[in-house]
Amino acid sequence: QQQVRQSPQSLTVWEGETAILNCSYENSAFDYFPWYQQFPGEGPALLIAIRSVSDKKEDGRFTIFFNKREKKLSLHITDSQPGDSATYFCAAINQGGSAKLIFGEGTKLTVSS
């Protein structure tokens, strides 16, 4: 049972466009949602995160939009750059419960110039 789902599996955008990566979850107890960025040959690195009490979190060109009622969130990358080409993982955790961070399947983003 996949508790965190991501779509699309892969996405290609042109340089300068906005990339939108989607994520949904099943467990209502999840209250913290980090996104991780992974380049080939490296481990995932924390990019940006949002708490369930917020509906938006911005950090430069990266913005998370969160809809608690629908159990959905999305990562928007504005002015996409070739250096943003990577795999992005949505993750979820219940900070009051287990420390186990649950990851989605990932979205492979390619930014073409």
Partner 1 sequence: NAGVIQTPRHKVTGKGQEATLWCEPISGHSAVFWYRQTIVQGLEFLTYFRNQAPIDDSGMPKERFSAQMPNQSHSTLKIQSTQPQDSAVYLCASSFRVANTGQLYFGEGSKLTVL
Give the three-state DSSP class for 83.
helix
Instruction: Print the SS3 string covering 48-75.
Output: EEEECCCCEEEECCEEEEEECCCCEEEE
CA distance 84 to 79: 10
Examine residue 70 and tell whether it contacts partner 1 (CB under 8 A). no
Interacting span for partner 1 (CB under 8 A) from 20-28, 45-53, 60-68, 77-85: 45-53
Of 11, 66, 104, 111, the residue at the interface with partner 1 (CB under 8 A) is 104
Backbone angles phi, psi at 17, to 5 degrees: -80, 170
Examine residue 109 and tell whether it contacts partner 1 (CB under 8 A). no
Of 18, 67, 81, 98, the residue at the interface with partner 1 (CB under 8 A) is 98
- Complex with partner 1: residue 13 or 101, whichever CB lies closer: 101
